[in-house]
Amino acid sequence: MSKCGTTINRIFCFGRNYLEHIHELSNAVPTVPLIFMKSPSCVVEPGEPIHFPKHGNELHQEVEIVVRIGREGKAATEKDALVLIDSISVGLDLTLRDVQDTLKKKGHPWEIAKSFDQSSPLGTFVPYDESVDLKNISFGCKINGVQKQKGNTRDMMFSTAQLLVELSRVWKLLPGDIVYTGTPAGVGPVKIGDIIEIESDLTGSFSWSVVD
């Protein structure tokens, strides 16, 4: 699928990668990264309206640094992992928290809470090379101009490179795969009429309005 100035293949996401966010949702601290996926059809380009999903009530924004894989391979080490990345962006992992809470209690998969239509708003990608320090990227999210989330990748529990090594245990990574690397604290409800703006010091800012 061609979106956000690039080709998007699979979307891998990591949950619970920032300690303060784990605490705000009273989740257990993972000993291995928690992986889930979204469909590439969930991507929303900057500026497209986001329709509030009809199958839940509590829509949360989660701003995350996103990396894109540029070449096929499996990363055995963190050094191998960095070579696979070709670009970086910032994105939203939109989540229906009330639906997810019900699924968690039943021990059911998360797709309808995480991988619904328009659940993956994504900024434009900027090229990555090794001059970029993946362990020191500042990023954040404002709703209606009010700062809700502020994070830095230095606070990740598992680094981006470690996340790619973890994925490689299960999948051969392919060009166009993108990886959401987890959200810092400050997730919260968004409503119809809100404007969500996300930014990082590498990419600049992108925004979306939430509509009926």
Chain residues that interact with Zn ion, rule: CB under 5 A: 62, 93, 183
Q: Which is nearer to Zn ion, 64 or 199 (CB)?
A: 64
Q: Residue 20 corresponds to which tokens in the numbers above?
A: 């303060």
Phi/psi of residue 162, nearest 5 degrees? -65, -35
Instruction: Report the nearest approach of Zn ion to the CB of residue 131 (Å).
Output: 27
Of all residues in the shown chain, the one whose CB is closest to Zn ion is: 93
Residue 157 Cβ, how far from Zn ion at the closest point, in Å? 13
Shortest CB 198 distance to Zn ion, Å: 13
CA 79 to chain centre: 22
To Zn ion, the closest distance from the beta carbon of 18 in angstroms equals 10
Distance, C-alpha 162 to centroid of its chain:
16
Torsion sign over Cα 113, 22, 46, 159? negative
In the complex with Zn ion, which residue's Cβ is closer, 93 or 197?
93
Burial of 200 from C-beta contacts in 10 A (0-12 / 13-18 / 19+): buried
Closer CB to Zn ion, residue 72 or residue 101?
Answer: 101
The nearer residue to Zn ion, 23 or 172, going by C-beta atoms, is 23
Smallest CA-to-CA distance from 120 within 69, 20, 53 is with: 53
* Cβ 57 to Zn ion shortest distance, Å: 19
Q: CB-wise, 4 or 113, nearer to Zn ion? A: 113
Q: Is 183 exposed, middle or buried (0-12, 13-18, 19+ CB in 10 A)?
A: buried
Give me the residues paired with residue 149 across strands: 141
Specify the residue for token string 């959401």.
180
Pick between residue 24 and residue 80 the one whose CB is nearest to Zn ion: 24
Give the containing element (helix H, strand E) for 96.
strand 95-96
Q: What's the min distance (Å) between Cβ of 156 and Zn ion?
A: 12
